[in-house]
Structure 1
Amino acid sequence: MASGDCKKDYRMDDNRTDSGIDSYRSILKDAEESYGKLAGDPAEDSDGADKFCSSISSTADERMDSAYGSSSLTVDSLSEIVEDCSLSTAEETLSSTPTGGLSEQEENFLTIITEDGDTILHLAIIHEDQYFAHQLIQWFPKDVLDIQNNLYQTPLHLATYLSLPSVVQSLVEHGASLELQDRDGNTPLHVACQHGWVECATSMTGDISPSKLVPVLETQNWKGLTCLHVASLNRHLQLVKLLMKKGADLNIQEGTSGKTALHLAVEQHDLLLVALLLKQSADVDVDAAMFNGCTPLHLAVGRQDAAVANLLCQADADKMVRNTENETPLDLADGNDDILALFPFDDIQISGRSVVAMKF
């Protein structure tokens, strides 16, 4: 029913992004065998290959767990593996390769995939080893930067979830995609908006032109929410400001019931967010209708929120617009004198002016 929907407190289910950190188990499945399949002719193996296999063999009996905070794969052991398979040989490769890129063998070292779909770069980020993450980002081809694990998370998703803005910026600078979605349909920018990571969002959007950001800003997750909706639902005003500055469509509707960011702010009785959105009055449709025809003013009145209703009225919200149940905002006032004072009675006029309801 439209009136019931206008009156009830509407909260989207918590769209908490699962980084998969608690679900990573059994990380390197027979990595030495995997290397053998990838590297090709053993006769061509370099010293780096020997070091790599040796480092893997030394940890073969240890079950590597990439869960955040796990002690079974420590930063030291991760560093040793990454250093042995890349640091000692990649520099030589880079200095001897005309293109400045990695050889096929070096690429094979760095792109072994675990049974959870993680690359070494995923693991370095999970363990917040930013030094090695930066090194790997330098060496990885762009396509490898965008590898998604079994939860469809890219390294950029994980770096954002863990609030590592310098890693986020490095990934973006090296061409990591902002548009890839995880298993919940969230882009990395959705993740930043969910958790309030302003620095990460700034690192993602700082040097990108608004036109190139449009596809990202318009992407909806599986709950139908854009980044602006997610930031509004979680009441992250700084992120809302950032998205507005970057050209987010303030009137875009979420996919389940057609709410705009203004509807969501009204539902949460967030006076500051409503005021922030209304400051952009030239871009905000104060009378935007949900799929059931309810405007933000319908929602404010239905929730008996006189303060928010007053802000909307000051922004020239239409007081007499009707929803699909043929109800105006006034029909939902339920005798609230503070709200009734905002509405003129059109059938009573003195000297041609509508009489406004007074509070006694």
Structure 2
Amino acid sequence: MAGHGCSKDDLQDYAVENRTDSGIDSYRSILKSEEPRESGDISGPREKFSTVEERLDSAYGSSSITGESLSELVDSCTISSGQEEQETPSCELSEQEENLLTTITEEGDTFLHLAIIHEDDLITQHLIDLFPKEVLDIQNNLYQSPLHLATYLNLIDVVKSLVWKGASLELQDRDGNTALHVACQHGQNECANEMTWNVSPSKLAPVLEIQNWRGLACLHLAALNRQHLIMTLLMKKGADLNIQEGTSGKTALHLAVELHDIASVKLLLSRGANVDAAMFNGCTPLHLAVGRQDAAIANLLCQAGADTMLRNMEDETALDLADGNDDILALFPFDDIQISGRSVVGVKF
């Protein structure tokens, strides 16, 4: 850890004015804790189904920290030479450094949260270099880590630096979303790429399986928001194409069919998604396509080998849901049956 030329009095006065946690003891407890902190392990109850809109300006309001004052504080610290860095043990921090690392606002934001909120790249990169991993993973009162905020704001270079420094990809915010969930929902393609491209499969696999409080994994969110590039990225990185969301058991293919998103349906089928995957109620993608009178997608599913005779829990086949739609009925194997020279299709009995 580099030494700093901060004024001790300036730091202490600033920290007392703006923090609600003295910081030093809490930071030392992190470093000295005998049990490693698990991802997302934050004291206090989680609110699973929040209707509160994500707050990106959590530094404003009650806190007196502004972009200008934050810049003044960090600018008062000058990084020492490389020789001094080698001579100073990384585990020994000055009191000034500890104050900078551990100051927390009433909203639970660290200085790194604030720098990201103010979109000050210079200060943000400086703090990422300064902060150890334990501080990079601190979550504010909305359970947002710095990586969450950087992703919301599409700060690609910040996301890259945080991931390179080892920031956790598994932390979940108050809605259960990881930073990768956020990227999938909002179409932050480059952020998603930075969070996946240089991450080992063993480290990325559990992230791709995490479900938010609505039961949605990253692939589900990408499908729901028609993020085809991110869907392709996730599939290349080994995302389970047939993972079921937690409320009704839909796969990404079910969701794409419900949205009438033919591009996503083609993409998923081309990658080998299970065309006959069943929801908890037994409905396959073909059931959904026929029930929604979507002949084009129903045709795609049939061409991919969908079993037309599978029954859901109400003992219905997809044919039972056709409701006289000639275009859909023509997809089933009974369309060549004729009575008195007339096709059964379209005949009312």
Q: TM-score, normalised by structure 1?
A: 0.77
Provide the identity percentage. 64
Equivalent of 2:71 in 76, 79, 94: 79
**Partner amino acid for 2:153?**
L
- Contact 1:343–1:357 (8 Å) recurs in 2: no
Q: 2:217 aligns to what?
A: 226
Call closer, same or farther: CA 1:328–1:59 in 2, change over 3 Å: closer
Distance 1:309 1:49 in 2: 70
- Contact 2:324–2:346 (8 Å) recurs in 1: no
**Pairing 1:248–2:207 present:** no
**Pairing 1:259–2:218 present:** no
Equivalent of 1:67 in 57, 63, 79: 57
- Contact 1:253–1:259 (8 Å) recurs in 2: yes
- Contact 1:94–1:101 (8 Å) recurs in 2: no
- Contact 2:109–2:139 (8 Å) recurs in 1: yes
Q: 1:343 aligns to what?
A: 332
Distance 1:248 1:157 in 2: 21
Q: 1:314 aligns to what?
A: 303
**Partner amino acid for 2:321?**
L
**Partner amino acid for 1:158?**
L
After superposition, what is the alpha-carbon deviation per residue over 1:246-286, rounded to whole angstroms, capped at 9, x for unaligned?
Answer: 000000000000000000000000000100111112xx110
| Secondary structure of 1:179 counterpart | coil
Equivalent of 2:7 in 48, 60, 73: 48
Call closer, same or farther: CA 1:344–1:356 in 2, change over 3 Å: farther
After superposition, what is the alpha-carbon deviation per residue over 1:178-224, rounded to whole angstroms, capped at 9, x for unaligned?
Answer: 00111111111001001000010111111012222110000000000
Distance 1:224 1:66 in 2: 24
Q: Which runs of 5 or more residues in structure 1 are unaligned?
A: 1-44
- Contact 1:111–1:119 (8 Å) recurs in 2: yes
Q: 2:108 aligns to what?
A: 117
After superposition, what is the alpha-carbon deviation per residue over 1:111-162, rounded to whole angstroms, capped at 9, x for unaligned?
Answer: 2111111100000001111111111111111111101111111101111111
Question: Where in structure 2 are the equivalents of 1:20-169 lying within 5 Å?
Answer: 48-53=7-12, 67=57, 73-84=65-76, 87-88=77-78, 95=85, 97-100=87-90, 103-105=93-95, 106-169=97-160
Question: Where in structure 2 are the equivalents of 1:271-282 lying within 5 Å?
Answer: 271-281=262-272
Deviation at 1:93, TM superposition (A): 10
Structure in which a larger fraction of residues adopt helix: 1
Distance 1:94 1:226 in 2: 46
After superposition, what is the alpha-carbon deviation per residue over 1:273-324, rounded to whole angstroms, capped at 9, x for unaligned?
Answer: 100111112xx11000000000000000000000110110110101111000
The number of equivalent residue pairs is 303
Distance 1:69 1:144 in 2: 17
Deviation at 1:344, TM superposition (A): 1.4
Tell me which moved more, 341-350 or 160-169: 341-350
- Structural RMSD (CA): 2.9
